[in-house]
Amino acid sequence: MDEIIKAISSDGFVSVTAIDSRGLTERARKIHKMTPVVTAALGRTLAAASMIGSSLKKTGASVTVRINGGGPAGVIIAVSDDGGNVRGFVQNPRANVPNKAPGKLDVGEAVGKDGTLSVIKDFCEKEPYTGSIKLASGEIAEDFAVYFAQSEQTPTACALGVFVDRDRTVLAAGGYIAQLLPGAPDSAIDTLERNVSAVGAVTDILKSGSVDTLMESVMDGFLPRVLERSAVEYRCSCSRERFLAAVLSLEKSEIEDMKQKAVPVEVLCQFCDAAYVFEPSELE
């Protein structure tokens, strides 16, 4: 079961959100039939979007992450609701690039770094809040760290990982966002930096341990207190009604065209494996 936990240090200066997202990443892989490197790219983005979504604290709010790095994978989109349930897609799910070392997927090369990472938070009121940065590496975790530092003025360490098995299934996926809260002393910064380098690859921890093990490793020495724990999953919000409304909002001439052809219209959801079929009579 996929899970997010949030914890805070006993002195209140360090907060960590950590996620185990293996299940939802595997679900995304099956829906989109992605190559391992694209699975890793979308999986990292979904994990980050889920952690950001779970911190929105407003019912009905959502966050959309858009990464456009100019690499062979193309644009990556991930959307999370306020509970951390996510969905997403990649423009070119079958894109591939050589590994950068044996067994090491080159996510940065697939994503590219000539572009932007945008985070759009929609609180269902007036204009959504949008923050955008120039990509640092296209490796995604580093790019989110830059986003938090520049757009939200919060010093952040972020690690994200997806481990894909030889048969292309996802063996482990997840990550964490560790943030320094206002007034954090230099000693807290030093300890956090030490912990982050000691933790290493998050998938090494998640393969054998839990999201708790991951959080406790990042929080070593901080006496963390768990504030919140919630189950998350891959969840699409599409429905027949929504798609029919979308079809009916097309140009009048296009709708006339479809009716004239007198064959059912099939519409596929971009985010999941749902397909909706509408009879010509429904287009009245």
**Alpha helix positions (H), 163-201:** 186-199
Smallest separation, CB 258 to Zn ion (Å): 21
Smallest separation, CB 271 to Zn ion (Å): 5
Smallest separation, CB 101 to Zn ion (Å): 36
Amino acid at residue number 14: V
Of 25 and 195, nearer to Zn ion (C-beta) is: 25
**Could you list the residues that contact Zn ion (CB under 5 A)?**
236, 238, 269, 271-272, 274
Amino acid at residue number 275: A
Exposed, middle or buried, 213 (CB in 10 Å: 0-12/13-18/19+)? middle
Task: Give dist(CA 62, CA 58) in Å, integer.
Answer: 9
Smallest separation, CB 268 to Zn ion (Å): 9
Return the residue matching tokens 């952040």.
156
Smallest separation, CB 139 to Zn ion (Å): 28
Task: Give dist(CA 178, CA 192) in Å, integer.
Answer: 8
Smallest separation, CB 251 to Zn ion (Å): 24
Of 6 and 66, nearer to Zn ion (C-beta) is: 66
Separation in Å, CA 187 to CA 60, 153, 191, 219 = 39, 20, 6, 13
Of 226 and 238, nearer to Zn ion (C-beta) is: 238
Contact indicator for 111, 71 with CB cutoff of 8 Å: yes
Smallest separation, CB 160 to Zn ion (Å): 24
Of 120 and 274, nearer to Zn ion (C-beta) is: 274
Task: Give dist(CA 25, CA 50) in Å, integer.
Answer: 11
Of 18 and 272, nearer to Zn ion (C-beta) is: 272
Of 149 and 268, nearer to Zn ion (C-beta) is: 268
Task: Give dist(CA 222, CA 180) in Å, integer.
Answer: 12
**Alpha helix positions (H), 105-184:** 107-111, 141-151
Of 267 and 283, nearer to Zn ion (C-beta) is: 267
